[in-house]
Amino acid sequence: MFLAFLYFYYFILFSCQIRDIHYNNNMKYFFLIVFISLIAVYLLTYILMNQKKRKRYYFFISEVFFLTLGYLAARFGNIASNHNFMNYKQILSIMLISFIVFIISLQYRYKFIKRLSKRLFPISFTSIVVSVLIMFLVFGLIKHNFSINIFMLFVFLSGSSFTFVSFTKSRYIRHIVYAGLFSPIIYTGIYLIYFISSILFGNIPFNNTIFIFIISIPIFTLLMGYLTIILKKTEWILFVFASLLIFIPFSTHYGILPMFIAFLFAIIITNMTEKYPDMYYNMFINTEKPAYFLLLLIAGTYLRFDLIILILFIALLLFKVLFSTIFFGILFGNYRKAPSASGISGFEFIGFFSLLLAGLIDQALFTGAVVFMLLSQIVQSGVMYADDIN
Amino acid sequence: MLMILTEIFFLGLSILLYYLLGKLAIPFKPFLSLGFIILIAIFNGRLFRRFNLPAITGYMVAGLIISPFTFGLSPVNYIKEFKLIDYFAITFIGLQAGSEMAIRILKKDFKKILTVTILIICISSISTFLFLYALNSVLKGIIIAGTGFIYVLIFLAVFEIAKSPVTTIAIINESGVRNKFTYTILGITIIKDVILVLLFTIVTAMVELSLAGTSGFSMIHFFPILMELIGSMVIGFIVALIFTLYMKYIKINASVFILIFAFIISFIGNTIHINPLITGIIAGFFIENFSEKNRDFTRILHTSAPYVYILFFPLASAVLDISVVPSVIILVIILLILRKIFLIVSFRIARKTVHIDTFTMKYGWMGLINQSGITLALAILIENIFIKYNMAETGNYIKTIAIASIIITDFYGPPMFKYAAQKSKKFFDNTFSK
């Protein structure tokens, strides 16, 4: 039901923001395409999910389908020229991702984290720091823009493995996912360094308002934690939704990544209360795929094919495959026993971050990121296939 | 007591923050407004529940708090940004209303319900018209002045039969009372709503003919109305078929599918002139009675309802201009008193003619008080008609009365129905629970 709520709200918000809806015929085409897509995707689900062999391709095909759909809708509906639509598309994408991040991050419960092997952290940390340094250097040479560099970095580092988690019980994939468990914390650290340095170098103006805003985040989060105890389930979900609606415009205005606010909200809340562990789990399982598809639909409208960027991203992919081979070689060389059942599903939401952020900066960059992500998944499908054979 | 204070604290904090932060120049402010509207509605709804009042009344009061016409917290254009939510909510409520109309339950008392409804409609509208006409003649136009007074009287008489199925369903869901009494009220409300739409269209067509000075009267004037009605029913049937097939064969994320589909239907309905309420009712009715997936469908609607209500009711009441109330307060009070009297009379006559039970005779009127929902839409339509014939003042007057009446009835109607529903638990079994 939560899923329905999420879908419904985003869809309705999305629609409400297109103010010239009655006057622009192109918008009717856009809605028509969305409508047909809704039917088509469920038929696709029906066809693909009813056979085990086809099930493997379901996710990849769906991704391509939604992206193409978004792309076609944007072209036929000509919404790219609609200023309002373009503006609201960004904020809705940010909200959607922030909500996903919130739900996923609810799994960061101390009692689960402490059960994980301590050996995972240094491996994860080292690999990320090394890759950060290398890629920062590489991107620094290509594009002399710090913001773009750091986002490209996220794109490169992102994994899409979490999207597979609920589709496979593969032991190997689970290892990969567990290895990425510390990534969000490390990325948060990197982002904080970036944010503080941006303030120090004057890229983000620091004044009283931003100071109050930053201070209000933990205070508000503590209030949220308290309210979790007293509110009903429905009210609590709406409360979280409303909080994100309030904080996201501010964080966008002050140049703070909204996803990190969502991350912070979730960590504090999940550790403050024991009230809804099952609900968190269900939210995670239910939200994962549909929210991602909805995001892809919006993302599809950003696509702009640019050959140079595509070549760059394919090169990056090859580099990543090489890098991952070395990384997992180190990891599994040192790590012989599988992590015990910790109750935590894997997640690498940085992939979502990067897609969105790249989209906010440059359409061609975003297209490259999308292609990169899809190619990554083909590689991962290969890993799954190999694991199935083994 | 501590919990009440906590809720008051959070409500106050939300309002204060909205007041302070709403002034800042930041991007995407409608989203910020929506966030605060939800927060205020949550806490106000909880607070009202603490005092055994319906949460939806709390949501509506929250709407007044954030309204541009009271404290000016939300600018008018922010509220209008989310107008499509109204269209969706009407379809959703229609689906809910239709899904409550199980033939196996209705067929027992259908004749009674229909007779009571017809009695109420005839007595309320005709008596109101005659009473106001007489009053206006005696007091020499002191209540309703001007040349268009006869039109005003006609529409006020039509409004007397308006009743919101939205709040009725919301109260039934909230109180969890599903017995013979609540179902009789729901049945009356739904039939009244359908008849109201038909009656309104006929009356409007006749008034328009009169305003235009057309002497000839032909059935062709009713063709668009008939088409709208048939079109809504056909689309409702198709929607029911699609939902059933979906729930039977595909199953995955049925709730998502239903909600988005309902939204698209309301959007399309708005552009091709089909009535979303009737479409929803027909779809819900067919699924409830002819689909094996009716229980799943009802469950989806039932669990989605709080999310829809918490957004719909504040936004619906936020657009009501409360400042108009004092200017027409006397007339509105007269209308409300008439409404109550004629409802009581109707139920008493129904007791004698079709032998309704004593409880419904005594408390039935309490469930038929509030007018929100369709009344406002009709009032806006009326205003537009009068503007077309250079009688904007008359149209505006009718709209003002309608708004004032909605505001007042919305705040005492739902608590009264909740009270009656709670009381009915002693007299009837909750046998209609699904």
- Looking at residue A344, its pLDDT comes to 34
Give me the mean pLDDT over the A306-333 stretch.
59
Instruction: With CB atoms and an 8 Å threshold, state whether A12 touches B250.
Output: no
- Looking at residue A342, its pLDDT comes to 34
- Looking at residue A106, its pLDDT comes to 72
Structure tokens at A112: 């689960």
Instruction: With CB atoms and an 8 Å threshold, state whether B249 touches A46.
Output: yes
pLDDT over threshold 60, residue B404 = yes
Identify the H or E element spanning B194. Answer: helix B180-212
**Buried b or exposed e, range A68-95, using 16+ CB within 10 angstroms:** ebbbbbbeebbbeebeebeebbbbbbbb
SS3 assignment, position B312: helix
- Looking at residue B384, its pLDDT comes to 73
Give me the mean pLDDT over the A370-377 stretch.
65
State the nearest Cα–Cα gap between B357 and chain A, in angstroms: 37
CA–CA gap between residue A220 and residue B35 (Å, rounded) = 14
Asked whether residue A33 is domain-assigned, the answer is no
- Which of the four pLDDT bands, split at 50, 70 and 90, describes residue B271? low
Write out pLDDT tens, residues B198-213: 787 778 777 777 777 6
Tally the C-alpha atoms within 13 A of residue B397's C-alpha that lie toward its C-beta.
Answer: 19
pLDDT over threshold 60, residue B12 = yes
> For B256, which of A4, A15, A239 is closest by C-beta distance?
A4
Structure tokens at A277: 């562990």
Asked whether residue A139 is domain-assigned, the answer is yes
pLDDT over threshold 70, residue B145 = no
Going by the DSSP 8-state scheme, the letter that residue B219 receives in this structure is G
Give me the mean pLDDT over the A7-34 stretch.
48
**Among the ranges given (A68-77, B87-96, B271-280, B316-325), the one the predictor scored with the smallest mean pLDDT:** A68-77
- Which of the four pLDDT bands, split at 50, 70 and 90, describes residue B1? confident
Between residues A261 and A73, which one has the greater pLDDT? A261
Q: Confirm or reject contact between A224 and chain B (CB < 8 A).
A: no
Asked whether residue A198 is domain-assigned, the answer is yes
CA–CA gap between residue B262 and residue B402 (Å, rounded) = 28
Give me the mean pLDDT over the B215-231 stretch.
66
Between residues A203 and B128, which one has the greater pLDDT? B128
Q: Confirm or reject contact between A21 and chain B (CB < 8 A).
A: yes
Asked whether residue A116 is domain-assigned, the answer is yes
Which is it for the CA torsion B158, B161, B164, B167, positive or negative?
positive
Instruction: With CB atoms and an 8 Å threshold, state whether B31 touches A95.
Output: yes
- Looking at residue B326, its pLDDT comes to 80
Q: How many CB atoms lie within 10 A of CB A29?
A: 17
Asked whether residue A60 is domain-assigned, the answer is no
CA–CA gap between residue A14 and residue B30 (Å, rounded) = 12
Give me the mean pLDDT over the A314-332 stretch.
58
Structure tokens at B246: 């979906």
Instruction: With CB atoms and an 8 Å threshold, state whether A8 touches B6.
Output: no
CA–CA gap between residue B165 and residue A81 (Å, rounded) = 41
Per cent of chain A over pLDDT 70 is 25
Per cent of chain A over pLDDT 90 is 0
- Which of the four pLDDT bands, split at 50, 70 and 90, describes residue A360? low
- Looking at residue B219, its pLDDT comes to 59
- Which of the four pLDDT bands, split at 50, 70 and 90, describes residue A159? very low
Residue with tokens 């931003």: A210
**Among the ranges given (A134-138, A146-150, A214-218, A313-317), the one the predictor scored with the smallest mean pLDDT:** A146-150
Q: Which residues of B touch A248 (CB under 8 A)?
A: 28, 31
DSSP assignments along B325-360, one per residue: HHHHHHHHHHHHHHHHHHHHHHHHHHHHHT---HHH
State the nearest Cα–Cα gap between A4 and chain B, in angstroms: 4
Residue with tokens 């007269």: B334
Instruction: With CB atoms and an 8 Å threshold, state whether A235 touches B300.
Output: no
Candidate ranges A21-35, A278-292, A296-310, B231-245; pick with highest mean pLDDT: B231-245
Which is it for the CA torsion A105, B304, B69, B15, positive or negative?
negative
- Looking at residue A267, its pLDDT comes to 79
Q: Confirm or reject contact between A242 and chain B (CB < 8 A).
A: yes
CA–CA gap between residue B48 and residue B58 (Å, rounded) = 5
Between residues A147 and A189, which one has the greater pLDDT? A189
- Which of the four pLDDT bands, split at 50, 70 and 90, describes residue A193? confident
State the nearest Cα–Cα gap between B19 and chain A, in angstroms: 13
Count of domains observed in chain A? 1
Which is it for the CA torsion B110, B116, B122, B128, positive or negative?
negative
Candidate ranges A79-93, A100-114, B8-22, B72-86; pick with highest mean pLDDT: B8-22
Residue with tokens 């918008």: A27
Q: How many CB atoms lie within 10 A of CB B122?
A: 13
pLDDT over threshold 80, residue B409 = yes
Residue with tokens 């199953």: B251
Between residues B127 and A33, which one has the greater pLDDT? B127
- Which of the four pLDDT bands, split at 50, 70 and 90, describes residue A133? low
Give the length of chain A: 390
pLDDT over threshold 60, residue B148 = yes
What sections of B213-323 are H helices per DSSP? Answer: 223-245, 254-272, 276-290, 294-318
Q: Write phi, then psi, for B69 (nearest 5 degrees).
A: -95, -5
- Looking at residue A7, its pLDDT comes to 45
Is the separation of the CB atoms in B39 and B19 below 8 Å? no
> For B34, which of A230, A237, A245 is closest by C-beta distance?
A245
Instruction: With CB atoms and an 8 Å threshold, state whether A8 touches B27.
Output: no
Give me the mean pLDDT over the A380-390 stretch.
52
Burial class (CB in 10 A: 0-12, 13-18, 19+), A389: exposed
Structure tokens at A65: 């389908």
pLDDT over threshold 70, residue B276 = yes
Is the separation of the CB atoms in B332 and B412 below 8 Å? no
Structure tokens at B376: 């406002």
Per cent of chain B over pLDDT 70 is 89
Give the length of chain B: 434
Q: Write phi, then psi, for A204 (nearest 5 degrees).
A: -115, 120
For chain A positions 152-211, those within 8 Å of chain B (CB to CB) are 209
Per cent of chain B over pLDDT 90 is 0
Q: Write phi, then psi, for A207 (nearest 5 degrees).
A: -140, -175
Q: How many CB atoms lie within 10 A of CB A215?
A: 10
- Which of the four pLDDT bands, split at 50, 70 and 90, describes residue A168? very low
Angle, vertex CA B347, rays to CA B341 and CA B348, nearest 5: 90
**Among the ranges given (A19-23, A70-74, B157-161), the one the predictor scored with the smallest mean pLDDT:** A19-23
Is the separation of the CB atoms in A93 and A299 below 8 Å? yes
The CATH class that applies to domain B88-424 reads: mainly alpha
Q: Which residues of B touch A8 (CB under 8 A)?
A: 256, 259-260, 263, 304, 307
Give me the mean pLDDT over the B394-421 stretch.
83
**Among the ranges given (A27-31, A342-346, B112-116, B381-385), the one the predictor scored with the smallest mean pLDDT:** A342-346
CA–CA gap between residue B429 and residue B217 (Å, rounded) = 51
Q: Which residues of A touch B246 (CB under 8 A)?
A: 42
CA B403 and chain centroid, separation: 13
- Looking at residue A105, its pLDDT comes to 72
CA–CA gap between residue B422 and residue B434 (Å, rounded) = 18
CA–CA gap between residue A354 and residue A370 (Å, rounded) = 10
List the domain range (segments joined by +) for residue A212.
Answer: 96-389
pLDDT over threshold 70, residue A8 = no
Angle, vertex CA A100, rays to CA A97 and CA A102, nearest 5: 110
CA distances (Å), origin A366, targets A180, A282, B140: 23, 31, 73
Which residues of chain B form CATH 1.20.1530.20? 88-424
pLDDT over threshold 50, residue A336 = no
pTM over 0.95: no
What sections of B84-148 are H helices per DSSP? Answer: 84-99, 103-138
**Among the ranges given (A83-87, A155-159, B227-231, B386-390), the one the predictor scored with the smallest mean pLDDT:** A155-159
Helices then strands, counting H and E runs in chain B, come out as 17, 0
ipTM of the prediction greater than 0.90, yes or no? no
Between residues A7 and B39, which one has the greater pLDDT? B39
> For B310, which of A38, A238, A245 is closest by C-beta distance?
A238
| Selected residue of A3, A10, A15, A84 to mutate for chain B interface (largest B Cβ count, 10 A) | A15
Q: How many CB atoms lie within 10 A of CB A101?
A: 26
Q: Which residues of B touch A231 (CB under 8 A)?
A: 42, 46
Q: How many CB atoms lie within 10 A of CB B303?
A: 15
Q: Which residues of A touch B36 (CB under 8 A)?
A: 242, 246
Mean pLDDT score of chain B: 79
- Looking at residue A10, its pLDDT comes to 46
Structure tokens at B297: 């469908």
Structure tokens at A132: 């950060």
- Looking at residue A345, its pLDDT comes to 34
Instruction: With CB atoms and an 8 Å threshold, state whether A12 touches B85.
Output: yes
Between residues B67 and B216, which one has the greater pLDDT? B67
Write out pLDDT tens, residues A337-350: 433 333 333 334 44
